[in-house]
Structure 1
Amino acid sequence: MPTNDTFDICGINHLALVCQDMNRTVDFYSGLLGMPLTKTITLPNGMGQHFFFDIGNGDHLAFFWFPNAKPGVPGVSHPAGQVGDGDITSAPASMNHVAFNVPLEKIDEYQSKLEAAGVNPTAVVNHDESATGISEDISETTFVRSIYFKDPDGILLEFAAWTPDPDRRDATS
């Protein structure tokens, strides 16, 4: 059922990010995270490559590799710190992080899998409506549980799971 009366938006077709090394990116997203590589395109005039990973539900995460791309700047192009351990701000028009929807009951298992693979995930974060916005344990106001980690280029990623019957009150600014 559409939720938008103006445009019939059906979800995300793809998000396109930029990587420093295509092979390393494919190894991480396809090899470690298990996302199938579904399309690769060589850009004209030696501009680089564009490639797509299936992230489920018909959605894709895409990357460009540009041979002459400038390096990312922590705190500008992406967060310098990790959630719970440093500054996570980034500049307007940057991509702060990408959150992948995962089953609630798999959060702890996925944290362990990432650690075993040499990735450094955060502790499980219970996002809630407390003064700090997070709690150590699930509370009645917890609306999503998450773990955060970075890809080889420092892109902040999140495995996130909505809690059962999260409070879906209208957002306010």
Structure 2
Amino acid sequence: MTSPGTDSLEHKVRGVDHAAFPTFDPRATIAFYRDVLGFPVVHATCALGWGPEKHPDFIHFFFDIGNGDRLAFFYYFGIEPYRDSEIPDLLHRARHLAIHVDTQEDLLDYRARLDRSEWPCELQVRHETVESIYVTDPNGYLMEITRPLRAITVEDDLDANLSADALMDVAADPEPTLEKFYARKAELIAERYVDEPAQVSFA
């Protein structure tokens, strides 16, 4: 027997892309997952005011936990844990499960299915290496369905690790900002690669 809502749509999800959570201590988070457990940092997305109005600047960084799955964290610049009125809303948006699909056709199939239901798609966006749709499930949990825009490269891994190291340095600042993060990342690039340009490719 076919369950309600499973009409003609073929099952196209390919498992977990990532699970995401907020962090208010990125230095400890990176030290724990990367340096203690050995989960490599494989991607980092930085955003200057991306998202809803008055959304704080943030960095979203990802650890490879094997089998193509990733564990991700959001760090919000300028937000004090447990002291800021924006914390409950940020926690709701940060905590989510992302499901992987392979193609835009698959993604649009799921968007159409959501839009025909009581839970329409709330946002569709392309950010750096993925395109995603977002919906809040009947329990109030945010869900993302995401598909790759391109293959992840060695340069992406290099950039992610530079981002992680820059974030660890800037998070120690009494007033960390995204601008300070970008400046520190530029310094690290100059320190590590100015004498070895052949190691960095932007092709």
TM (norm. structure 2) is 0.33
Larger strand percent = 1
**Greater radius of gyration (CA):** 2
